[in-house]
A and B are shown apart, each in its own frame.
Chain A
Amino acid sequence: MALRRLIYNVTRSPEMAPGGALVHAPIVPVEGEAYEVHEDVHGEHMLINIGPQHPATHGVLRLVLELDGETVIRCIPHIGYLHSSFEKLGEYRDWNQVVPLTDRMDYLAPLIYNCAYAMAVEKLMGIEVTERCKVVRVICMELDRIFSHLLWLGTTAIDLGAFTVFLYTFQQREKIYDLHERFTGARITTSSTRIGGMMADLPAGWITQLEEFLDHFVPVVEEVETLLTNNAIWVGRTQGVGEISGEDAINWGLSGPNLRASGVTYDVRKDRPYYDYQTYDFDVPVGEHGDIYDRYLCRMEEMRQSVRILRQAIDRLPGGPINVDDPRVILPPKTAAMNDMESMIHHFKVVMEGVRAPVGESWFSVESSKGELGMYVVSDGGSKPVRWRVRGPSFINIAALPHMIEGALLSDVIAVNASLDIVLGEIDR
């Protein structure tokens, strides 16, 4: 299916309202300005260290910068401070026990990671989940896309000095936390998927609560737009900053909104549809300039599109079982396990021996909130993975940071870093 291309009508020159108020601010040419303003310190290079414990690095990222005045000559990121060896731990756990490791990677969109992992293993095992499970997972993934974009919006705005937005977005995130908690029992570490289905079906009234959230959420997006989209400071700090061309973005492996902001129409949901995404009616926003402002616009539009997908998913949510009818992977009902010897043995064997996957491997990717999230699972026929590899979108996105900020100002480092929407749990794994 061809992508529908939404082009934003962004004015790149100063535009004044009839009353004389500034509607759009002009872009400040970054490099030239920096040298003129700081002529006195020009030529004095300096090595500085930002992080790892610094609020604007969004985690324990550490950047070593070589500065010429305020201009960044070189940026060298250091990661690994949160390294938890998840991939190694996964090799010591059976297929279902890996699920709790996945949501600890990206704690900003845990359900997407849960689902992506389960989908990769199901593909390896040749399991087709039920129709209800597919729609429930689509709901989970789109809800967490909003969840993650809201955090990105709030923290990026706060990094650039707009505090109010943070309060708006975190109020909405609280409601998604409540939905998480009601469905999975946990607010962040959801661990909600199992191979072949979900941990539980949706609780009664959950969909109503979700609908209520959506009704209240859409006006909030509009409100945040009024705070930022035409805000002179916001426009001045974001337009033309951290630009990357579409060709470069592909070569650097950027994905998700960071890639689409550069004008590349690559979305896994459209290009390699999974879970019937081709039957949902939604658009993929694509930017033009590849700067922070376009990434912002892409994410804002993605939230609205996620609401569209969520409403369609709610409408088509079918009844029926949520788990596949496959005794290899799914536990018997608790009442049967307590009353019937066969079921008890079955329960015991699935729990103690774990689910077994056939010899083989599978590389499966979904469109996470941060980009393309790939899960590579290799099995030798046992109940544990030989290799479980995560292609973390943040890991690859942040690798392009030096390319985007070398030559920019020190203050832009914070803005560009924030705009990439990284989560260190997944970068360091």
Chain B
Amino acid sequence: MSDQSSFKKGLEGLDQGPRPSEQGPEAVPPQAGGLPPHPTVDALRERFGDAVLRHEVVAGDEHIVYVPAGRNLEILGWLRDAEGHRYDFLQDLTAVDYGGGRQIQVVYQLWSVSNKLNLRVKCELPLSGLEIDSVYFLWRASDWLEREVFDMFGVVFRGHPDLRRILMPYNYAEGHPLRKDFPLRGRFTRAEQTRRALAQKTEDHYSPMELEIAHVLGQPVPDPFPAGEAGGGQHGQFGGMGGGG
């Protein structure tokens, strides 16, 4: 019998859904005294004052600091160089879209190799103004990570020297796939997607810089998908696969 009651408790848990965590996104920011201290967060408060918008602790021991998007470069630059903190390793740079028109969060996950400290810094951007300063010159690791966030979420990183799509084709016209309003199968019909794939030209596979180099050298751009190898008379990646949409 006792077996069954413990069993039901588990089921109740399922029916009620999960308990919201204390520091969930909608939760009231907890008092500073109530959180386990983090040396860098204290130093940030001291140095930048109210630029520390919020401080959260999630999953037990992960500290998150929210900073204004306009001051990200200044604060992250300080975090990288400040004595005693030195977050010299950019573990990850990504974004989160919660959907429903909420702000998109740009997430910097930092690690200090010398001090063995973790810190997550977040900046919130409204959907109407998806622009933030690039940290390319602080951590070169952010080069491709920022390109990926731009590709997937449409966040523009000001000052990034080579901001172009990275995973999707350069002439991809359907939008930014990881946004919540993006349907899983894409925005275009299947026929339109096939038509565009078959209509790709050699130049479409190159970045503007490469086309510029080829132009300066007076050389045609090399075809990454030679028609002869793919078989059939069609051009491009899908040559020989048949099916014209």
A-B contacts at CB below 8 angstroms, number: 171
A308 at the interface (CB under 8 A from B): no
Q: In whole angstroms, how far apart are the Cα atoms of A95 and B152 in the complex?
A: 22
Contact between A389 and B92 (Cβ–Cβ < 8 Å)?
Answer: yes
B78 in the interface, Cβ–Cβ < 8 Å? no
The CA-CA distance from A255 to B139 in the complex, in Å, is 14
Contact A374 B224 (CB under 8 A): no
Partner of B24, one of A74, A272, A359: A359
Question: Is A49 part of the contact surface with B, judged by Cβ < 8 Å?
Answer: yes
CA distance A391 to B141 in the complex (A): 12
A365–B91 CB distance below 8 A: yes
Report the nearest B residue to A122, measured CB to CB.
B59
B96 x A378 contact (CB < 8 A): yes
Give every chain B residue within 8 A of A360 (Cβ-Cβ).
Answer: 21, 23-24, 58-59
Cβ contact of A386, chosen from B4, B59, B96, cutoff 8 A: B96
Contact flags (1/0) for A360-377 with B, using CB distance below 8 Å? 111111000000101010
User: CA separation between A85 and B20, bound complex, in Å?
Assistant: 29
Looking at B92, B169, B219, which has the most chain A CB atoms within 10 Å of its CB? B92
Q: Does B90 contact A (CB under 8 A)?
A: yes
* B145: Cβ under 8 A from any A Cβ: yes
* Least CB separation from A343: chain B residue: B7
Chain B residue, CB-CB nearest to A73 = B213
Taking CB atoms, residues of chain A closer than 8 Å to B184 are: 88-89, 92
Q: Is A47 an interface residue (CB 8 A)?
A: yes
**A286 in the interface (beta carbon within 8 A):** no
**A128 CA / B136 CA spacing, docked (Å):** 38
CB distance from B3 to the nearest CB of A (A): 9
**In the complex, what residues of B have CB within 8 A of residue A362's CB?**
58-59, 62
The reply to whether A359 and B20 form a contact with Cβ atoms under 8 Å apart is yes
Selected interface stretch from B8-16, B41-49, B189-197: B8-16
Instruction: Please state if A358 and B96 are interface contacts (CB–CB under 8 Å).
Output: no
Q: Is the CB of B109 within 8 A of A363?
A: yes
B131 beta carbon closer than 8 Å to chain A: no
Contact A123 B60 (CB under 8 A): yes
Residues of chain B with a CB closer than 8 A to A124's CB? 59
Q: List 6 A-B contacts (CB under 8 A).
A: A327-B10, A359-B21, A360-B21, A361-B62, A376-B94, A396-B141
User: A252-B140, A253-B90 provided; 19 other pairs, C-beta below 8 A?
Assistant: A45-B213, A47-B210, A47-B221, A64-B206, A74-B213, A80-B166, A88-B178, A327-B7, A328-B10, A359-B20, A360-B23, A360-B58, A376-B92, A376-B109, A387-B178, A389-B96, A395-B148, A396-B145, A399-B143
6 A-B pairs closest in CB distance = A253-B141, A327-B10, A359-B24, A362-B59, A49-B222, A80-B167
